[in-house]
Amino acid sequence: MHLFAALVPPQHVLDEIEAVVARAEEPVVAAGSKGGRWFGRRRETAEEPAGPQLNRIRSPRMLVPITKFGHLPVTDATRLADSLRDQAQHWPSPRLHFSGGAALEWPGDQSVWVKVAGGLDDLEAFNAVAKGVSLVSQGLQLFVDRRAFRPMMEIGSVNRLTTPEYLERLVAELDAFEGTPWWQTSLSLLIPAEGAQNRAAHKSFREIPLGPAVPH
């Protein structure tokens, strides 16, 4: 099976992100205007492309990826899950929220992202979970994706209709956004699954409880 690790935020938090994306899809259009003007955080434009400017990821598919493990036999996946369960009890549960946006962040990146935020101790705990997952996997001599961990969640990708003005507007909405905090109390081991956009793109293999909450 193909296995990967991720943090899955609660549904009400993901609903907030969907609302932010929806706001960016509703520009103020001025009849007969040329070029554009700024009204608050919104740019007034003469025309918008006919069709969605973002290939959106819907909330059932949203998650914060930690790492991929590649194809594992069930015995190795079970061994990994058991080892993570033993170690994760020592990794504090962070209190996180979403705030800030990014787009096309590195060469070849076609995505728009919302950033994971939190207090200093919470972000340290969050990064410790990501590092701990890789260390446990390596200790079992299992493959682990060595690409750099980024504390962000993908919300969609650009397409042929995407304009610079739209991206600017969307990132501005995300930069102004301060999401509801939540306690991340578990790490998810997931298996990719096929399905429609309104269905989860993954199935749960094992939910790994984290340790006590980060003190505040």
Query: pLDDT confidence of 42, banded at 50, 70, 90?
Result: very low
Domain 2-209 sits in CATH at 3.90.1140.10
**Lowest-pLDDT choice from 105-119, 121-135, 136-150, 200-214:** 136-150
pTM over 0.75: yes
49 Cβ contact partners less than 8 Å away, ≥ 6 residues apart: 161, 163
For a pLDDT cut of 90, what percent of the chain falls above it? 77
Bridge partners, residue 42, by sequence: 39
User: In angstroms, rounded to a whole number, what is the distance separating the alpha carbons of residues 52 and 163?
Assistant: 11
User: In angstroms, rounded to a whole number, what is the distance separating the alpha carbons of residues 162 and 193?
Assistant: 28
Check pLDDT > 70 for residue 39.
no
192 Cβ contact partners less than 8 Å away, ≥ 6 residues apart: 2, 4, 201, 202
Torsion angle of the four alpha carbons 115, 124, 185, 59, in this order, in degrees rounded to the nearest 10: 10
Q: What is the pLDDT of residue 40?
A: 41
In whole angstroms, how far apart are CA 205 and each of 64, 82, 116, 202? 16, 12, 24, 9
Torsion angle of the four alpha carbons 61, 66, 69, 72, in this order, in degrees rounded to the nearest 10: -60
Q: What is the pLDDT of residue 126?
A: 97
User: In angstroms, rounded to a whole number, what is the distance separating the alpha carbons of residues 10 and 130?
Assistant: 19
Q: What is the pLDDT of residue 200?
A: 67
Alpha helices in the chain (DSSP H): 11-24, 74-88, 120-139, 164-176
Q: How many Cβ atoms are within 10 Å of 180's Cβ, its own excluded?
A: 12
Q: Please spell the DSSP secondary structure of 129-192, one letter per residue.
A: HHHHHHHHHHHTT-----SPP-SEEEEEEE-TT--HHHHHHHHHHHHH--PPPEE--EEEEEEE
Check pLDDT > 90 for residue 165.
yes
Name which residue leads in pLDDT, 142 or 194.
142
SS3 content of the chain, % helix, strand, coil (to 5): 30, 30, 40
pLDDT digits (tens, 9 = 90+) for 14-24: 999 999 999 99
Check pLDDT > 80 for residue 48.
no
Q: For residue 184, is it left (φ>0), alpha (ψ between -120 and 50) or beta?
A: beta
